[in-house]
Amino acid sequence: MSAASLEAISAARQLVARFNDAINRSDFAAYHDLWTPEGILDLRGLPDIAGPIKGAQAIVNAIKPMRESWEFFFQMTGEVYVEQDGDIIVARSPMWEFGRTAEGKGYSAHSINVDEITQTPEGWRLARRIWYGVLINNDNLPGTSIPLPTDLRS
């Protein structure tokens, strides 16, 4: 395997990790910076989403109120499989996400993400993410929510 291939694999895995980190911490500036300006988020299987969301700012505008409606929300990605074709990377990864609204309504989903990642002058960015929901559960989620600190470095 070439050094360029190893660098692409590392870049793709890091981008997926940064995606989860930005969502988990509600850092929408970091979330915005993951996308190309014309990026596309396609949340297949979610009944409240009419179709693909186009454009980095439109993606943030759609996701931010959804994320802010949760008392807590976490995304965790499994192993990322990476294929590279020049300046395009396709990464596939399983995801488990769960959360709860302030009213106690639970949510959990198992899905597969298919990411098209492209090299830009700013680095590797998401050109497209397709979220394929496999199982969604909206049962109440018991337990006590403990808020995360704003700065998770210390």
Q: Taking the domains of the chain in order of start, what are their residue ranges?
A: 3-137
Give the pLDDT score at 99.
93
Contact in structure between 13 and 82 (CB atoms under 8 Å): yes
The token pair that represents 86 in the structure block: 């020049």
Q: Distance between the two ends of the chain, CA-based, in angstroms?
A: 37
Report the CATH number of the 3-137 domain. 3.10.450.50
132 - beta bridge partners?
44, 112
Local confidence pLDDT in tens for the 154 residues of the chain: 677 688 888 999 999 999 999 999 999 999 999 999 999 999 987 777 778 999 999 999 999 998 888 888 999 999 999 998 878 899 999 999 999 988 888 989 999 999 999 999 999 999 999 999 898 888 877 777 777 777 766 5
125 - beta bridge partners?
118
Nearest-angstrom CA–CA distance, 45 and 90: 21
Locus of tokens 């500036």: 29
The token pair that represents 103 in the structure block: 């009213």
Length of the chain: 154
For 82, residues 6+ apart whose C-beta sits below 8 A from its C-beta are: 8, 9, 12, 13, 89, 90, 91
Q: How far is CA 145 from CA 72, 99, 148, in A?
A: 7, 10, 9
Nearest-angstrom CA–CA distance, 107 and 24: 15
